[in-house]
């Protein structure tokens, strides 16, 4: 430690003018193994180019990250050069981000899924390069499916409920803490994602349509909320209303759940050495609701450069390095982060490490977007109103009817004179 400090000081005073290397600050990931895998990539670039990258520790939940970054960017801070931004953020913080359209070659940009590139374009500026995409998937315990005589993961929510009930009843004898189905039920952005999947699979739309009209008050929403309310306390623990991604994964990875809804990152962690359920995981598309088809919410993260960055040139280079096919491949293998480049879904090495990427390609491409484009700068308010309503149904504080009515009026309030 002491020598490091001494060397740094020495480097500052003597070698600094001679060397070309700069120090970049990178606000990256923290969920699961996200930090380590991100740092490995950034360090590889740093070693190659002679620069230094400080990978900053960031909050675990997306809402807390947004709150922090919003303040930094609004204050015109240049402390962080590169941000990993959520798919719903371009409309919220886009004004503070660097336009990458002339800095990253068009050929590199067009290698990524066009829908995500379109999503990252804000007021004609390309504010982020896609890094990994996300879509909600269903995790099932393959050993338990077999044990209870099921041949495949559930195809509908009704099937999931009855299978979960049977497995939970059978497993409780040996493991009193066993649960049928866990998901993200805490009152935060993650619940918006989960509930949008239920809503879309029941044919209830996407809360607010692309023209900005509030569409939540419909019979399908009520049907969906009734179904979901029925899970809580039967196949799902009542405490699901305190679960974010990592809380659900901890229950699942301890072997205490038959099914889990989560993002793809949980696969690599579940298959890691030391996991209680290694080799017992099946990943499939989320079940279908009354509409006859399932739906996954589009998640995923982009790399963006702070418009105020003092080392924009190097920052863009790092972004280009990290979003290259080679780096996305490494991350897909080590962390099961879904690539944003179509050809990687046919890569044999990736498919060997994460087999579900092949069959679930369509799920990733057709994922349902949250209504961030229609609600613009008010997305966060609209989303928290929706999560709040679903939360009050999960905690049984409100009936589905009451919740939908309250949500309708809350969304009207948020919309005010327009989005």
For other proteins, the binding residues (CB under 8 A) are 61, 63, 66-67, 70-71, 73-74, 92-93, 95-96, 172, 176-177, 179, 186-188, 233, 236-242, 251, 254, 256, 377-378, 380-381, 384, 388, 391-392, 395-397, 409, 412-414, 416-417
> Which strands make up the sheet holding 52-56, listed edge to edge?
52-56, 23-27, 82-86, 298-305, 129-135
Enclosing H/E stretch for 84: strand 82-86
Least separation, in Å, of the C-beta of 330 and other proteins? 33
C-alpha–C-alpha distance, residues 8 and 13, integer Å: 9
Contact residues for 88 (Cβ-Cβ < 8 A; gap 6+): 189, 370, 372, 379, 383
- CB nearer other proteins, residue 279 or residue 418: 418
- CB nearer other proteins, residue 22 or residue 406: 406
- CB nearer other proteins, residue 41 or residue 63: 63
C-alpha–C-alpha distance, residues 266 and 138, integer Å: 11
Least separation, in Å, of the C-beta of 372 and other proteins? 13
Bridge partners of 261? 138
Query: Could you tell me the CA-to-CA distances from 377 to 63, 88, 298, 374, 381 in Å, in that order?
Result: 15, 10, 19, 9, 9
Bridge partners of 82? 26, 305
Coil vs helix vs strand at 87: coil
- CB nearer other proteins, residue 84 or residue 240: 240
Least separation, in Å, of the C-beta of 241 and other proteins? 5
For every residue of 327-353, DSSP letters joined together read: HHHHHHHHH-PBPSBGGGGG-HHHHHH
Describe the crossing of helices 62-74 and 189-201 by its angle, rounded to 10 degrees. 120
Least separation, in Å, of the C-beta of 141 and other proteins? 16
- CB nearer other proteins, residue 201 or residue 392: 392
C-alpha–C-alpha distance, residues 167 and 258, integer Å: 7
Least separation, in Å, of the C-beta of 311 and other proteins? 22
- CB nearer other proteins, residue 233 or residue 355: 233
Least separation, in Å, of the C-beta of 251 and other proteins? 6
Least separation, in Å, of the C-beta of 205 and other proteins? 21
- CB nearer other proteins, residue 172 or residue 346: 172
- CB nearer other proteins, residue 176 or residue 274: 176
Contact residues for 384 (Cβ-Cβ < 8 A; gap 6+): 187, 189, 192
- CB nearer other proteins, residue 213 or residue 293: 213
The alpha-carbon radius of gyration of the chain (Å, integer) is 22
By CB atoms closer than 10 A (0-12, 13-18, 19+), residue 239 is middle
């Amino acid at each position: 430690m002491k020598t490091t400090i001494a060397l740094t000081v020495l480097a500052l005073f003597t070698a600094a003018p001679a060397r070309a290397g700069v120090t970049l600050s990178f606000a990256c990931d923290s969920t699961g193994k996200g930090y380590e895998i991100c740092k490995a990539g950034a360090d590889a670039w740093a070693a190659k180019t002679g620069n230094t990258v400080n990978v900053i520790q960031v909050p675990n939940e997306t809402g807390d990250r947004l709150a922090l970054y919003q303040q930094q960017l609004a204050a015109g801070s240049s402390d962080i050069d590169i941000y990993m931004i959520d798919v719903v953020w371009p409309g919220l913080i886009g004004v503070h981000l660097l336009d990458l359209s002339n800095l990253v070659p068009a050929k590199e940009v067009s290698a990524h899924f066009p829908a995500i590139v379109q999503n990252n374009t804000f007021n004609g500026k390309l504010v982020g390069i896609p890094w990994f995409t996300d879509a909600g998937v269903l995790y099932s315990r393959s050993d338990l499916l077999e044990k209870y005589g099921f041949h495949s993961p559930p195809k509908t929510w009704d099937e999931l409920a009855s299978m979960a009930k049977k497995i939970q009843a059978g497993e409780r004898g040996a493991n009193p803490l066993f649960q049928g189905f866990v998901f993200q039920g805490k009152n935060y952005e993650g619940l918006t994602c989960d509930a949008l999947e239920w809503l879309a699979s029941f044919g209830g739309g996407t809360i607010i349509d692309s023209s900005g009209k509030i569409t939540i008050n419909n019979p399908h929403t009520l049907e969906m909320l009734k179904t979901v309310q029925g899970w809580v306390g039967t196949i799902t623990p009542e405490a699901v209303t305190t679960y974010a991604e990592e809380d659900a994964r901890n229950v699942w990875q301890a072997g205490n759940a038959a099914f889990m809804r989560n993002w793809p990152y949980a696969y690599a962690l579940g298959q890691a050495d030391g996991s209680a359920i290694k080799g017992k995981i099946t990943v499939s598309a989320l079940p279908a609701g009354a509409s006859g088809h399932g739906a996954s919410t589009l998640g995923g993260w982009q790399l963006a450069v702070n418009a105020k960055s003092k080392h924009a040139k190097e920052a863009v280079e790092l972004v280009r390095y990290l979003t290259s096919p080679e780096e996305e491949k490494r991350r897909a293998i080590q962390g099961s982060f879904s690539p944003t480049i179509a050809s990687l879904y046919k890569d044999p090495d990736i498919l060997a490490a994460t087999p579900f990427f092949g069959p679930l390609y369509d799920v990733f491409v057709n994922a349902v977007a949250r209504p961030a484009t229609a609600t613009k700068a008010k997305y966060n308010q609209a989303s928290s109103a929706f999560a709040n309503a679903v939360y009050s149904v999960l905690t049984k504080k409100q009936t589905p009817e009451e919740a939908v009515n309250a949500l309708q009026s809350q969304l009207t309030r948020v919309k005010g004179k327009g989005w």
